[in-house]
Every structure is written in structure tokens, then in C-alpha cells.
């Protein structure tokens, strides 16, 4: 049964104004910073201008690969893939590698050869694979983005915007495999059939130089210049920064992310262990609790509706083990799902008979609302 609990609070999660700040990203052709949880634009400069994006393309390549294959799929590298120009994962013709390994070669070494091998495995050729990428872009509402290849090599019909790229990265970072890959600094693997060891090293210097950095991808071509998508997380708040055509990208990203962290504070909307519902069996009560915290970056102004939707069966039947998932909380902002938290049973429920659910979640959120209104 789905039950919606509306929380009206006076904390600022309304769409943030697109801040003009000449001191930030002044050397970039375009730039933006968004809230990784809500997608709100925090800072922007020429954010809707269509530009080439070089190897930051590979964020969508990784998304498409994961959604159309399995990490354990074995890929045989073709001669066409191994001979691709530009940045390389140094894979060789005939090598058999897992899709997981190729994704590390794609995102750490920025391997054009890995991008080609992935595309061939999934679609047979890069053209059909690029169409899958375009379909995903349309699904995500990225109407100023178009792909012609999975690597980011120059093509006049291959472009995006800083804002679309930030939104691509925001979606990508919801995929655990991508989040793990882009936060990894070094990776080593062996080809399944040759035993040759491959070493991949992440080109994203933000992982070493910026506190809390979590990803995501670098890029460079002569036409695009230096391109960078970065993300960082502190105190449960994550922000995503993008620059296209920026010779000072490391410095600019540090400043943009600092700006974002200075404008928000973390608010715990769901607390791990809090009782969401209670179950009653034979006169005894059993708690259904939140499995983890959910933190929302808030601003000090404005007002917004946060919806927390409880998804839990009203007809649970014993036995239910302690820690077993019995449902989930869906957190929505502005009509969009921005996160979820599992609901688990706090105790073993072994008695026979139906479980009668009583809601105790609304009272908690009224207390949260009162605090937010202060």
C-alpha cells in the first residue's frame, strides 16, 4: 500500500537562482554546479550552450553499457577496437576481458579502445551504440545533447551542454557500479585468455586534491579543450561541477564546489533506526525501522514541499527476520524521486497470523517540519 506523507517546510530547496559570479570559471566557455540530490542549479555560466565535450562523453557510455549488459559479460577485443586513436586502455586484439574491466579502462584511462570494444559487444558497431546513448539522453530530458560515438572524438554532431552533462553525471552517480569505478584511483586486471596484466590509473586529479571528491571524468580534444566533470561529498551532501573548454579546470572546480558547500547545510530527513511503522501480532508490537540516514542539502531561505512516500505491504506474514527488508521510503522533491531508504524489521517476527500495520511515520515528520520551520 502506498501512503503519501506531505511535508511542507520553510527550508530553501526551491530552484536556486543561476548565480552570476565573475570570479568563478571565468576562463571556461561554459560551467555549472548542481545539487547532486535535487538537481538544482547553484551556479551557471553559458550552461545551455552546445559544445563538444571530449571524453566526458564516456559517462553516458558507461551508463549505456551497464544498462545493456552485465558486469561479468566477457568481451573479445576486435582489431578495430584495439587500433582506436587517442587515449588508450592498452587492450589488445583477441583479449578477453569482462565488461567490468573494460569500464575501468574506459573511465580511469579514458580508453577509446575500451569504448569501441564496449560498443561492439553491445550493439555490433559504434553507430548503433551511439543511438542507444541518444535514446538514454532523450529519456533523461537532455535535449541539447547528441552523440555520434562512445569515445568523444571530434564530430560536429557530437555535443552537449554544461547543464546536460551535469545532469548526465547526476544520473550516472545513482548507479553503484559507476560510483565505485569513478572513485577508484588505480585498478589492475588480467586478460582472461592471455594472462597479460593491465594497469589503469585515474586521470581525475580532483580525487587527490579536493576533500570529499567522488568522481567523475576528464576529457580533452583540440576542438573541445579541457573538459571536466567533478563531484564531491561532505556531511551527506554531494554536488556536481562541470566545465567545458576550461584551461584552469582544477582550480575552477575547487572554487565552484567550495561555493556550493558554503551555500547549503545538511538536514537529516530520515534517521537510521527511526520507527516508520509498527506491526501488531497477538497484542505485541514490532517496529519497522529505517535502514539508514537520508540527508538533504538545504539552504537558509525559501520554502518547499518534500514528500516521503511509504511503500510497505499491509499484508505481511511471519516469519520475518530481524533486518529483513519489508518495504522502502521514497523521498521526493518537486515531484521527482531523489532517493530511497529501505524499511526493515527491527526484530524477528515468528508468531503465526496476519501482521497488522500501524503508521507511526507521520508524527515523526510533523516533528521534522516543526524544526525546519524554526
Known catalytic membership, residue 358: no
**Annotated catalytic residue, options 110, 123, 151, 230:** 110
**All three cell numbers of 102:** 573494460
The answer to whether residues 374 and 335 touch, using CB atoms and an 8 Å cutoff, is no
Query: What is the C-alpha separation between 21 and 241, in angstroms, rounded?
Result: 15
The answer to whether residues 114 and 106 touch, using CB atoms and an 8 Å cutoff, is yes
CA atoms within a 13 Å half-sphere pointing along the CA-CB vector of 260? 32
Please, which residues have CB within 8 angstroms of residue 170's CB and are 6 or more apart in sequence? Answer: 34, 36, 39, 240
Known catalytic membership, residue 196: no
Cis amide prior to 216 (ω within 30 degrees):
yes
Q: Which helix (H) or strand (E) covers residue 154, if one does?
A: none
**Annotated catalytic residue, options 29, 30, 45, 58:** 58
**All three cell numbers of 311:** 511503500
Mark 57-94 as b/e (b = at least 16 C-beta within 10 Å).
bbbbbbbbbbebbeeebebebbeebbebebbbbebeee
Known catalytic membership, residue 88: no
Query: What is the C-alpha separation between 324 and 322, in angstroms, rounded?
Result: 6
- Strand segments, DSSP code E, in the chain are 2-9, 30-35, 41-45, 74-76, 96-98, 186-190, 197-201, 213-221, 225-234, 237-244, 265-270, 275-281, 284-290, 294-298, 304-312, 325-333, 336-345, 356-359
**Annotated catalytic residue, options 30, 55, 123, 345:** 55
Residues taking part in catalysis: 55, 58, 110
Amino acid at each position: 500500500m502506498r501512503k503519501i506523507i506531505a511535508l511542507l517546510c520553510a527550508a530553501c530547496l526551491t530552484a536556486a537562482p543561476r548565480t552570476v559570479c565573475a570570479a568563478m570559471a571565468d576562463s571556461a566557455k561554459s560551467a555549472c554546479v548542481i545539487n547532486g540530490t535535487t538537481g538544482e542549479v547553484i551556479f551557471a555560466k553559458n550552461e545551455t550552450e552546445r559544445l563538444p565535450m571530449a571524453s566526458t562523453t564516456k559517462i553516458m557510455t558507461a551508463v549505456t553499457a551497464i544498462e545493456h549488459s552485465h558486469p561479468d559479460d566477457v568481451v573479445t577485443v576486435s582489431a578495430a577496437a584495439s587500433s582506436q586513436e587517442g587515449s588508450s586502455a592498452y587492450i589488445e586484439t583477441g583479449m578477453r576481458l569482462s565488461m567490468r574491466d573494460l569500464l575501468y579502462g574506459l573511465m580511469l584511462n579514458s580508453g577509446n579502445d575500451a569504448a569501441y570494444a564496449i560498443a561492439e559487444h553491445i550493439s555490433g558497431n559504434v553507430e548503433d551504440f551511439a543511438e542507444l546513448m541518444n535514446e538514454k539522453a532523450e529519456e533523461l530530458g537532455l535535449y541539447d545533447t547528441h552523440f555520434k560515438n562512445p569515445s568523444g572524438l571530434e564530430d560536429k554532431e557530437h555535443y552537449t551542454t554544461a547543464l546536460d552533462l551535469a545532469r548526465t553525471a547526476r544520473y550516472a552517480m545513482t548507479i553503484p557500479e559507476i560510483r565505485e569505478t569513478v572513485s577508484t584511483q588505480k585498478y589492475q586486471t588480467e586478460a582472461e585468455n592471455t594472462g597479460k596484466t593491465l594497469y589503469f590509473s585515474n586521470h581525475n586529479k580532483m580525487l587527490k586534491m579536493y576533500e570529499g571528491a567522488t568522481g567523475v571524468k576528464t576529457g580533452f580534444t583540440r576542438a573541445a579543450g579541457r573538459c571536466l566533470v567533478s563531484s564531491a561529498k561532505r556531511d551527506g551532501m554531494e554536488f556536481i561541477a562541470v566545465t567545458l573548454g576550461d584551461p584552469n579546470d582544477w582550480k575552477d572546480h575547487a572554487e565552484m564546489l567550495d561555493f556550493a558547500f558554503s551555500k547549503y547545510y545538511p538536514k537529516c530527513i530520515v534517521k537510521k533506526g527511526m520507527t516508520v511503522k509498527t506491526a501488531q501480532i497477538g497484542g505485541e508490537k514490532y517496529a519497522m525501522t529505517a535502514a539508514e540516514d537520508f540527508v538533504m542539502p538545504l539552504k537558509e531561505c525559501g520554502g518547499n514541499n518534500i514528500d516521503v512516500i511509504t511503500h510497505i505491504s499491509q499484508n505481511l506474514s511471519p516469519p520475518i527476520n530481524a533486518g529483513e527488508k519489508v518495504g522502502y521510503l521514497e523521498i521526493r522533491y518537486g515531484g521527482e524521486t531523489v532517493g530511497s531508504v529501505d524499511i526493515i524489521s527491527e526484530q524477528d517476527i515468528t508468531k503465526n497470523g496476519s501482521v497488522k500495520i500501524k503508521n507511526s511515520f507521520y508524527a515523526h515528520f510533523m516533528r521534522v517540519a516543526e524544526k525546519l520551520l524554526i
